[in-house]
Amino acid sequence: MSTVVLIGSQWGDEGKGKVTDFLAEKADLVVRFQGGNNAGHTVVVDDKEFKLHLIPSGILYSDKLCIIGNGVVIDPAVLKAELQSLIDRDVKIAKLLIDKRAHVIMPYHRLVDEAEENSKEDDKKIGTTKRGIGPTYADKSSRVGIRVADLLDEEEFAEALKYNVDAKNKLFENYYQAPTVNYEQIYQEYSEFAELIKKHAADGHEVINDAIENGQNVLFEGAQGTLLDLDFGTYPFVTSSHPIAAGACLGAGVGPTSINNVIGVAKAYTTRVGEGPFPTELHDELGAKIRQQGAEFGTTTGRPRRCGWFDAVILRFSARINGLSHLAITKLDVLTGLPEIKICTGYRLNGELIKTFPASLKELAKCEPVYETLPGWQEDISKAQSIDELPQNARNYLNRLSELVKVPIALVSVGPKRSQTIVTKDIFYNDGDGKTWHTPRL
């Protein structure tokens, strides 16, 4: 038995969808534990591209049980459309479960999200996707949210919806000066959604813990990335949930002693979407070239991603916060052809060299990256099936990343397809304590 948490080690968009899909082959269960349809995971199978926002990436394997955990917020309209798109492409969805404790995104959440973002000055905007994620988590914390269990109970749903519609309409009228929402319309629409969700509703934590006790392999799939975490991210330019490894325990209902390994997915460079400081960002033609070669445009929003060099300060911070046992390095192929490649090994702040990640955004914005330069490689690596088939300079680059982060590399992606993945460590293999690994030279 092995339980693996897969998280993003940067600002999200690291390629978690592909890595989840690849690792799911050896998993029995794949569990999504936080976030909502503000996330987007792209998976390529046999030249077919699938874009998933709510449903775990393991759904593309017909024999895997997939669970949307209690920590996820669910937009039923998006769920319905995503399920239908999979059905239309002959993907079986019978093995999808939705935790009854998961909270439901309502139409007024999307309206609040948009109104709140639009009311801010440009330099105060968060860069929200305006999909209602934050307001849903806010209602959850305020104890007025509507869960799947409530949605499936007609009496409970009617009462909770009436309270929320009245409260939100006062907000729209008196604060945002925005159009109000209609109770009857929402009730009818979401009652229909309830019929769809009822087919998949379950006590997810029971299923997950039973699987662990029965010795099955469980893969926990995170969305977004460590630097978007509500506590440890670049606050306030963060998401509204916990995409770090600890979030898997909360968002799936398992204890920390049940987790064997934590895999941090990181690009061979760094990207970010939205606002906030980004020390290694490239504002030149090279940044634009990496964006084009890496197809760095958001799966959910289509927004162009900001691109920069690999930041080892961020990754070391992420390794500690998440307790990473391994790294999965993606998009190594995007750097092919560059004469030299830089790695940020520290920051210079007010003339002083630091190697820690500042909590203050004001300080982070002042940080100047300190670079180490390595020679690049010109050879095509997209067909490499082993580390030995990579150019020596590519191996040297990977080794240096691992040394700086102090975490061994388990997977290397050299293209978007499942087949374009190099495995250096079987992370579903448990050597006794599940955590004692030695950093290998690649």
Rounded to the nearest 10 degrees, how much is the dihedral formed by the CA atoms of 323, 327, 328, 332? 140
The answer on 47 and 175 residing in a single domain is no
Residues contacting residue 186 through CB under 8 Å, at least 6 positions apart: 106, 107, 108, 161, 165
The answer on 287 and 216 residing in a single domain is yes
Active-site hit among 13, 139, 229, 333: 13
Helix (H) or strand (E) holding 391: none
The answer on 294 and 257 residing in a single domain is yes
DSSP code at position 305: P
The answer on 320 and 404 residing in a single domain is yes
The answer on 303 and 240 residing in a single domain is yes
Question: Does 430 reside within a domain?
Answer: no
The answer on 189 and 228 residing in a single domain is no
CA angle 179, 154, 197 (to 5 degrees): 85
Specify the CATH number for the domain of residue 140.
Answer: 1.10.300.10
The yes-or-no answer on residue 13 being catalytic is yes
Q: What is the 3-state secondary structure (H, E, C) of 29-80?
A: EEEECCECCCCCEEEEECCEEEEECCCCHHHHCCCCEEEECCCEEECHHHHH
Query: How far apart, in whole angstroms, are the C-alpha atoms of residue 393 and residue 381?
Result: 12
Query: How far apart, in whole angstroms, are the C-alpha atoms of residue 352 and residue 347?
Result: 8
pTM attached to this predicted model: 0.91
Question: Does 94 reside within a domain?
Answer: no
Query: How far apart, in whole angstroms, are the C-alpha atoms of residue 331 and residue 63?
Result: 28
Query: How far apart, in whole angstroms, are the C-alpha atoms of residue 433 and residue 410?
Result: 17
Residues contacting residue 334 through CB under 8 Å, at least 6 positions apart: 267, 268, 269, 290, 293, 294
The answer on 360 and 265 residing in a single domain is yes
Question: Does 177 reside within a domain?
Answer: yes
CA angle 37, 159, 35 (to 5 degrees): 15
CA 275: distance to chain centroid?
Answer: 17
Going by C-alpha positions, the residue among 236, 423, 318 that lies closest to residue 12 is 318
The answer on 345 and 273 residing in a single domain is yes
The answer on 74 and 107 residing in a single domain is no
Query: How far apart, in whole angstroms, are the C-alpha atoms of residue 17 and residue 50?
Result: 10
Is the separation of the CB atoms in 88 and 94 below 8 Å? no
Greatest CA span in the chain, whole angstroms? Answer: 66
Q: In a structure prediction context, what are the per-residue pLDDT tens digits for the chain, which is 442 residues long?
A: 689 999 999 999 999 988 988 898 899 999 999 999 877 777 777 777 788 889 998 888 889 999 999 999 999 999 999 999 999 998 888 799 999 999 999 999 999 988 887 777 666 666 677 899 999 999 999 999 999 999 999 999 999 999 999 999 999 999 998 899 999 999 999 999 999 999 999 999 999 999 999 999 999 999 999 999 999 999 999 999 999 999 999 999 999 999 999 999 999 999 998 888 999 999 999 999 999 999 998 766 778 999 999 999 999 999 999 999 999 999 999 999 999 999 999 999 999 999 999 999 999 999 999 999 999 999 999 999 999 999 999 999 999 999 999 999 999 999 998 899 999 988 775 544 433 333 445 6
Structure tokens given for 303: 């927004």
- N-terminal to C-terminal alpha carbon distance within the chain: 27
Is the separation of the CB atoms in 148 and 102 below 8 Å? yes
Structure tokens given for 366: 């002042």
Active-site hit among 41, 53, 109, 205: 41
Number of domains present in the structure of the chain: 2
Going by C-alpha positions, the residue among 175, 202, 210, 214 that lies closest to residue 99 is 202
Question: Does 442 reside within a domain?
Answer: no
Query: How far apart, in whole angstroms, are the C-alpha atoms of residue 181 and residue 12?
Result: 33
- What pLDDT is stored for residue 435 in this prediction? 39
The yes-or-no answer on residue 41 being catalytic is yes
The answer on 407 and 288 residing in a single domain is yes
The answer on 329 and 185 residing in a single domain is no
CA 61: distance to chain centroid?
Answer: 20
CA angle 66, 9, 54 (to 5 degrees): 30
Helix (H, G, I), strand (E, B) or coil at 166: helix
Q: At what angle do helices 76-88 and 183-198 cross, to 10 degrees?
A: 40
Domain extent at residue 243: 3-89+203-423
